[in-house]
Structure 1
Amino acid sequence: MNEKALKALEYDKIIDQLTAKASSPMGKNLCKDLKPCRDLEQIQTMQTQTKDALSRLFQKGTLSFHKVKDIRGSIKRLEIGSTLGIGELLDICSVLENTAKAKSYGRFDRETETCDSLDAMFQNLEPLTPLSSEIRRCILSEEEISDDASPGLKQVRRSMKITNDRIHSQLNSLLNGSARSYLQDGVITMRNGRYCLPVKAEYKGQVPGMIHDQSSTGSTLFIEPMSVVKLNNDLRQLEIQEQKEIEIVLSDLSEQAAQYQEVLTDNLNILIELDFIFARAGLALEHNASEPQFNTDGKIQLKKARHPLIHKKQVVPIDIRLGDDFDLLVVTGPNTGGKTVSLKTVGLLTLMGQSGLHIPAGDHSVLSVFEEVYADIGDEQSIEQSLSTFSSHMTNVVSFLEKATDKSLVLFDELGAGTDPTEGAALAIAILSHLHRQGIRTMATTHYSELKVYALSTPGVENASCEFDVETLRPTYRLLIGVPGKSNAFAISSKLGLPDFIIEKAKEQISEQDESFEDVISKLEASRITLEKEQLEIQQYKAEIESLKKQLEEKQEKFDARKEKIIREANEQAHEILREAKEYADQTMKTFHKFQKEHISTADVENERQNLRKKMSKLEKNMAMKPKKSQPGKRLRPSDLSIGASVKIISMNLTGTVSTKPDAKGNLFVQTGIFRTQVHLSDLELVDEVVVNTPLMQRTRAGKIKMSKSANVSTEINLLGKTVDEAIAELDKYLDDAYIAHLSSVRIVHGKGTGALRKGVHNYLRRQKHVATYRLGEFGEGDAGVTIVEFKK
């Protein structure tokens, strides 16, 4: 793609946004070097990778590559057998640790997920965990090697510690003994890597030893006493030995890393490529973009397309098509109406799509693969080159006409502007006709009425206009294909206060043909607006009817289901009653037969008959419908109420909880939502609370407990801005509710701040018997600003 078009369409700003999404320096370089591609297969591969990465972002969250260092130089040094430094080995370790994280991120559940285009990349990663673990074991930081890196290093450092202790013991004995009066300060210092004492210059003969330095005034000499000279020499030798042991450790680690040169190179290349792919997915997520469909036929169909460099809240989506019924689109309308934005949207989205980036447009939008995009947009007037606006535009047009083919997309902004209108319009028509004959996909914006007529009268050429509201003098930025636009110069001037006589005079200057054409456009515009309003009303009516129909169907389904349930339950109940009646009848017949055989008395027979009648009456009562009896209201007494009891305020038809006990007059406070209301005892009635059986709570005498709002408790509590006492009071109630609701874990948001609130929360949690464990949040959970609490099972 030519750099001029990339600059005119602001492609570099999209690349800047993409680069910011990459984590590693090498990934950022890939983003910076991204250019539109002409190969359809490669474009589709990149689009698929972007789509699959975006899907993984939705499912698993972000994947960071910030630990991926550029170790290519270190790998080259390993090839020639060099020993790597501490920093280089740590960089290799960081790459391997990032490889392990990426490998874990890339694993998918074979039962619920299917492999995608990125699966092979993740599978080819080799974390080399033993190597990275060994590097971490031996190297603590860029300045420190672990004592346990090798037995030799451990032995040398143990000897150094013993020698150091002996030197300090000797020097301390001098400090606290005979040499104390000769010293400038009672401290042990070091000069040239050797331990010394600060001796007053006049007493240098009293402290035999080697002079290593003196103060700036000469009053203090730094003397190494003879008693520690040998120990200092021994310490120096041990330091040399320590350095040799460190070199052995680094050499050993380098040899281990050298065995995996190819694996390290492959890991690095895959991680860089993944960083690049996930940067594209991150940009798609930010723009709410979708994957476009591609063709090589020059067809463009963008649905609800948005310019990616305009803020989401300000941009107006537009529908644009080109290359199906027409290959030349002439966009007209007033200034600031969105013509140039429409032009740039088509060009920039084409470049983004061919770069493997998703585009901010609706699903199933269509783009074509163009070998070249030419764009003449903006004022390129140049004083240095003595070029006027018209000349600079014509220079671009000439180059376009020389290079453009039927595989090109050409974009003109205000074609033919900057010169005499009649000549400019004629030139514009001639240029567009030439491109049209060659079948080159072209979009052009213009003010010329002649181009509107040309588009209306030429097959394969279509008009489009950017809608403008004359009443508010504001563009709507909607693109209307098939309708030529008006410049609205007279209407806008009138609204801005230009005298009517001047406007009338101006109208006399235009020809009757032009005026008639503008009137036709006005009528078409009015008819279109009326038709759109009617269509919108029809759509609203359809939506309302569909909603009512759906509600009616849902009600009917619920009614039928309820009806079937009632009938089923009634049949089951009747069957049970009949079964009981049959069993009792059989038992009764057996009893009467028994009475006949055993000559039972008449009184006993009559008694059995009475029992049968009672049983039959009971069955009849079970089959009859029992009307509900309303219970008369019960006047409450102060002893009936306890703090926290649920009550209903009769006069206000509100429910709440008792906050205080009734006073002598029967007045008390009731908490209803956020309001605390004073009411009289006579205006209250108790509310039956829902009860629930639970094996986890202590039962009441009835084997039940009160059901509170804990059934709907949130999994998170926010304590930001509260004092420790306020937070603990609220947290205590919240944890009880969460535990009753059987939540396995909850999230406490306390923020970082000074740490006082976090400390208070942790002190409280430490004392709670129903808390199993608690920990600070990890990366992605809120870090040290939150605490995750796990309840006991």
Structure 2
Amino acid sequence: MNEKILETLEFQRIKDQLAKYLASATGKQELAELMPQSDYETVLSWQKETMDGADILRLKGGMPIPKLADVRPQMKRLKIKASLNGAELAQIAKVLRASMSVQHFFERLHAEKIMLQVLPKEVDELVTIPSITKRLLQSIDQDTGAVLDEASSKLHGIRQLIAKTEAEIRQQMEKYTHGKMAKYLSEPIITVRNERYVLPVLSRERSRFGGVVHDQSASGQTLYIEPASTVDLNNRLRQSQIEERQEVRRVLAALSTMLAPYRLDIQNNAKILGHLDFVNAKAKMAHDTKATLPLLSQAGQVVLKKARHPLIDPKKAVANDIKLGQDYHAIVITGPNTGGKTITLKTLGLIQLMGQSGMFIPAAEGSTIAVYDEIFADIGDEQSLEQNLSTFSGHMENVKAILDQTTAHSLVLLDELGAGTDPKEGAALAMAILDKIGALGSDVVVTTHYPELKAFAYDRPETINASMEFDQKTLRPTYRLLLGIPGQSNGIAIAKRLGIGQDIIAEAQSLVSDDSQDLNKMIGELVEQRKQARERSEKLEVLLTKNKATEQELNDKLTRFEEQREKLYEDARSKANHQVSQAKKKADQIIHHLRQLEITQGGSVKENELIDAQGALNALHQNPRLKHNSVLKKAKQKRDLHKGDAVLVKSYGQRGELLEKRGNHKWEVQLGILRMEIDENDLEKISKQQLANAEKEHEPKRRPVRTVQTRHTSARLDLRGHRYEQAMSELAQFIDHALLNNLSPVTVIHGKGTGALRKGTWEYLRSNPRVKSFAYAAPNAGGDGATIVYLQ
């Protein structure tokens, strides 16, 4: 892309917004070099990267990229076999540690079957050096760059000797600061001069201490003296400090030599981490600005839905639909000043630049952008005093440059084309320029005040009129783009709103031709009709969304009803089959009895016995259609729930009372002293008498409480490996079950991990009034990976 378009559309301000999300120097360098691309495959790859970053941000909160310095200067020094200092080695250690951390992070994503498109291949190029990374982390402090005691056994021994010697010196000198000699000191303190421990002695009392004078105060009243009794100790300390510096230099040199063979790998790691940081930043900015993934059109089509300017506050920006490149390749936007024409041009151009830079765009889901080879713009006042160019001349210079470079795959944005000269000549020139751009095959969006261009856009193929909506009632622009409707001149209306006298307004209106007034009136009516249509469309959109939600709710209810109906039918069939089976057995018994009577009575059966047998058989008759089946009736009554009904909570084996319905399929139930939210599938309606009988019993029979883990009452809940929301739901159910079964204490195993489950567990326990106290488990019982909970 040409530099001028980036400057005209203020693309640098977009990059400045993105810079706030970067943590690494290499990522900031990549941002500084970022340019929109014109190659389709490159843009597609960049967009896939950003999509991967957005998925990781949504699922895991982003990639673990720490603050990293630019290590390229260190790599150049290693190339010439230079010895790096502690701070430089600490920066390299951070890169190596981050490389391992990122690699492990993506391995966990793979293990969790989180599918990504591009980034895993880039992470595979990271080179991890565990042994060297461990050695650096043990030897160098990551914050200060200081060489640690563990860097070498010799350094450890030397520093122990230094500490011991310093303690001896202080012990010896404290005899002066706390004893009888303290009165001869300016202050009873021990200080350092020339890297040796000294005392601040009054000048007149020098002879009482002897030793070596290392310094004196500005007034000459105080001498900083090293007492004779500590000279040998200071000498020993000084010698140890020299040995320490030598050992530190040796350690730094050894570490530098150890890193030298891997300098290219380290530099490449830093580059990959910087790129991941850059992708992370694009995903974070997209999330914060509510930007969306654009679809890419190889056919050069632009379909922006509810597009807004990325540099305007989203609360104030007016979103517009912009289409280009399919039914038409040229848009002529007309209308009054301050209506939003220029902002519309910049919105289209800036969104294209963002999309072709691999960024998400400030538009609704499903928006499409083209991949242009160049974007040109002539926007703003091009007047130049230095070059002696008028506004018109400046614009023509820009237009000439654009016409010389544009191709069939370019986008041209022209603001107030032909302005600054005679209106008739300006309009004619504007139409000729548009014809030329059309002949080249470029897409073009132009703003103008010339009415001639309205007719031009109407007559020319693949060209459409557009305007910025103007509210006729308030005489103010709404900043909405109206495709297909030319803009009307509202100059007289605006002048009237601004307070110009009525006599002037009336005369101006009389001077305007009838044709112009009729045209403006027609356009005004079209705009009003378009506004009403849009408002109706928005209302219908809201209604449609609401109806879809209602339809989904009804479908869910129907599904549940059908499932329940099938279950009831199955229960009824089972019960009926059982009754039929029993009836068949009884019928067989009656028939067998009749046969026995016939045999015992010599072939004749008394009439009353036959009547009794016939009655018994009639009593066994079953209606095959189950119209009055008692099982169905009883099941239906049990499902008919109302506020105040007595119910049995089947999973708990507890009886309670319905208080209030919660949502579509849940009820709030009073179970003794507890209130719980229960799914209606877990409820069975019972009689008030059954409830009263249950309340009289001191120890009601209870079925074991089922938990997700064991399906039996347990004093132990394991949340490890569960997602946060699921874990918190299970924890609440577990505590309720424990309270119902008088279990205390209970154990909640949340693991250590990132600490999110532990934090959520403790927050819930603090908020539950039935929790008496809680604390970490004993070290042999899980330590801070488990919590013991005591219930009231």
Q: Normalising TM by the smaller chain, what interval?
A: 0.7 to 0.9
Partner of 2:421: 419
Task: Give CA-to-partner distance per residue, 1:498-556, whole Å, 9 cap, x none.
Answer: 56654443233233443343344345445545666776787788778877777776666
| Aligned mates of 1:194, 1:217 — CA distance in 2 | 22
Partner of 1:54: 54
C-alpha spacing 1:489/1:775, structure 2 compared with 1 (3 Å): farther
Percent of matched pairs sharing the same residue:
36
C-alpha spacing 1:269/1:517, structure 2 compared with 1 (3 Å): same
**Counterpart selection for 1:312 from 311, 314, 328:** 314
| Aligned mates of 1:120, 1:155 — CA distance in 2 | 47
Question: How far is the alpha carbon of 1:495 from its aligned partner?
Answer: 5.4
| Aligned mates of 2:773, 2:301 — CA distance in 1 | 67
What SS does the corresponding residue of 2:20 show, helix, strand or coil? Answer: helix
Partner of 2:74: 74
Contact 1:20 1:28 in 2 (8 A): no
Contact 1:19 1:32 in 2 (8 A): no
- Equivalence map 1:363-442=2 (5 Å): 363-442=365-444
Partner of 2:121: 120
- Equivalence map 1:31-50=2 (5 Å): 31-50=31-50
Question: How far is the alpha carbon of 1:384 from its aligned partner?
Answer: 4.9
- Equivalence map 1:164-179=2 (5 Å): 164-172=166-174
What SS does the corresponding residue of 2:160 show, helix, strand or coil? Answer: helix
- Equivalence map 1:618-633=2 (5 Å): none
Partner of 2:282: 280
C-alpha spacing 1:595/1:173, structure 2 compared with 1 (3 Å): farther
| Aligned mates of 2:496, 2:280 — CA distance in 1 | 54
Contact 1:774 1:790 in 2 (8 A): no
Task: Give CA-to-partner distance per residue, 1:675-720, whole Å, 9 cap, x none.
Answer: xxxxxxxxxx99969999xxxxxx944337999xxxxxx989xxxx
One-letter amino acid of the counterpart of residue 123, structure 1: D
One-letter amino acid of the counterpart of residue 702, structure 1: K
Contact 2:777 2:783 in 1 (8 A): no
C-alpha spacing 1:552/1:497, structure 2 compared with 1 (3 Å): same
Task: Give CA-to-partner distance per residue, 1:576-627, whole Å, 9 cap, x none.
Answer: 23334556777899999999999xxxxxxx9xx99x99xx99x999958679
| Aligned mates of 2:176, 2:29 — CA distance in 1 | 63
Contact 1:647 1:686 in 2 (8 A): no
Contact 1:167 1:231 in 2 (8 A): yes
What SS does the corresponding residue of 1:195 show, helix, strand or coil? Answer: strand
Question: How far is the alpha carbon of 1:82 from its aligned partner?
Answer: 2.0
What SS does the corresponding residue of 1:23 show, helix, strand or coil? Answer: coil
Task: Give CA-to-partner distance per residue, 1:162-213, whole Å, 9 cap, x none.
Answer: 4334444544556677866765555544332223344444444444433333
Partner of 1:766: 775
| Aligned mates of 2:275, 2:183 — CA distance in 1 | 71
Contact 2:320 2:480 in 1 (8 A): yes
| Aligned mates of 2:532, 2:184 — CA distance in 1 | 108
Partner of 1:579: 581
Q: Is there any run of 5+ residues in structure 2 with no aligned partner, and where?
A: 601-608, 645-655, 661-666, 676-687, 707-722, 726-730, 741-745, 751-756
- Equivalence map 1:574-653=2 (5 Å): 574-581=576-583
- Equivalence map 1:233-252=2 (5 Å): 233-252=235-254
Contact 1:38 1:354 in 2 (8 A): yes
- When structure 1 is superposed on structure 2, of 489-498 and 476-485 the one drifting more is 489-498
Matched, 1:299 2:301: yes
TM-score by length of 1: 0.74
C-alpha spacing 1:241/1:691, structure 2 compared with 1 (3 Å): farther
Contact 1:8 1:375 in 2 (8 A): yes
| Aligned mates of 1:99, 1:555 — CA distance in 2 | 51
Task: Give CA-to-partner distance per residue, 1:460-512, whole Å, 9 cap, x none.
Answer: 32211222221132333332222212123344455566566544432332334
| Aligned mates of 1:687, 1:589 — CA distance in 2 | 42
Partner of 2:4: 4
Contact 1:464 1:483 in 2 (8 A): yes
Partner of 1:703: 702
C-alpha spacing 1:198/1:565, structure 2 compared with 1 (3 Å): closer
Question: How far is the alpha carbon of 1:332 from its aligned partner?
Answer: 1.3
C-alpha spacing 1:255/1:585, structure 2 compared with 1 (3 Å): farther
C-alpha spacing 1:346/1:691, structure 2 compared with 1 (3 Å): farther
Partner of 1:505: 507
Matched, 1:467 2:476: no
| Aligned mates of 2:629, 2:43 — CA distance in 1 | 76
Partner of 1:135: 136
- Equivalence map 1:519-534=2 (5 Å): 519-525=521-527, 528=530
Matched, 1:100 2:100: yes
- When structure 1 is superposed on structure 2, of 190-199 and 479-488 the one drifting more is 190-199
Task: Give CA-to-partner distance per residue, 1:240-277, whole Å, 9 cap, x none.
Answer: 11212222222222222223222211211111122222
C-alpha spacing 1:789/1:4, structure 2 compared with 1 (3 Å): farther
| Aligned mates of 1:519, 1:371 — CA distance in 2 | 42
| Aligned mates of 2:732, 2:286 — CA distance in 1 | 43
C-alpha spacing 1:565/1:400, structure 2 compared with 1 (3 Å): same
What SS does the corresponding residue of 1:124 show, helix, strand or coil? Answer: coil
Partner of 2:517: 515
One-letter amino acid of the counterpart of residue 121, structure 2: A
Partner of 1:674: none
| Aligned mates of 2:419, 2:177 — CA distance in 1 | 94
| Aligned mates of 1:499, 1:186 — CA distance in 2 | 90
| Aligned mates of 1:110, 1:355 — CA distance in 2 | 31
Contact 1:201 1:220 in 2 (8 A): yes
Question: How far is the alpha carbon of 1:573 from its aligned partner?
Answer: 0.8
One-letter amino acid of the counterpart of residue 361, structure 1: A
Question: How far is the alpha carbon of 1:92 from its aligned partner?
Answer: 1.0
Question: How far is the alpha carbon of 1:386 from its aligned partner?
Answer: 4.5
Contact 2:777 2:788 in 1 (8 A): no
Partner of 1:603: none
Partner of 2:334: 332
| Aligned mates of 2:443, 2:284 — CA distance in 1 | 32
| Aligned mates of 2:559, 2:168 — CA distance in 1 | 94
C-alpha spacing 1:763/1:235, structure 2 compared with 1 (3 Å): farther
C-alpha spacing 1:277/1:582, structure 2 compared with 1 (3 Å): same
Question: How far is the alpha carbon of 1:445 from its aligned partner?
Answer: 0.7
**Counterpart selection for 2:459 from 452, 457, 460:** 457
| Aligned mates of 1:319, 1:425 — CA distance in 2 | 27
One-letter amino acid of the counterpart of residue 311, structure 2: L
What SS does the corresponding residue of 2:114 show, helix, strand or coil? Answer: coil
One-letter amino acid of the counterpart of residue 312, structure 1: P
TM-score by length of 2: 0.74
What SS does the corresponding residue of 2:359 show, helix, strand or coil? Answer: coil
One-letter amino acid of the counterpart of residue 430, structure 2: A
Contact 1:23 1:64 in 2 (8 A): no
One-letter amino acid of the counterpart of residue 81, structure 1: K
Question: How far is the alpha carbon of 1:767 from its aligned partner?
Answer: 8.7
One-letter amino acid of the counterpart of residue 449, structure 2: H
| Aligned mates of 2:578, 2:153 — CA distance in 1 | 86
| Aligned mates of 1:733, 1:295 — CA distance in 2 | 50
Partner of 2:449: 447
Question: How far is the alpha carbon of 1:789 from its aligned partner?
Answer: 6.3
Question: How far is the alpha carbon of 1:385 from its aligned partner?
Answer: 4.6
| Aligned mates of 2:566, 2:671 — CA distance in 1 | 43
What SS does the corresponding residue of 1:91 show, helix, strand or coil? Answer: helix
Contact 1:467 1:476 in 2 (8 A): yes
Matched positions, count: 699
One-letter amino acid of the counterpart of residue 703, structure 1: R
| Aligned mates of 2:532, 2:233 — CA distance in 1 | 103
Question: How far is the alpha carbon of 1:88 from its aligned partner?
Answer: 1.0
Contact 1:689 1:706 in 2 (8 A): no
Q: Is there any run of 5+ residues in structure 1 with no aligned partner, and where?
A: 599-605, 634-644, 661-670, 672-684, 693-698, 708-713, 717-731, 777-787
Contact 1:744 1:791 in 2 (8 A): no
What SS does the corresponding residue of 1:571 show, helix, strand or coil? Answer: helix
Contact 1:316 1:477 in 2 (8 A): yes
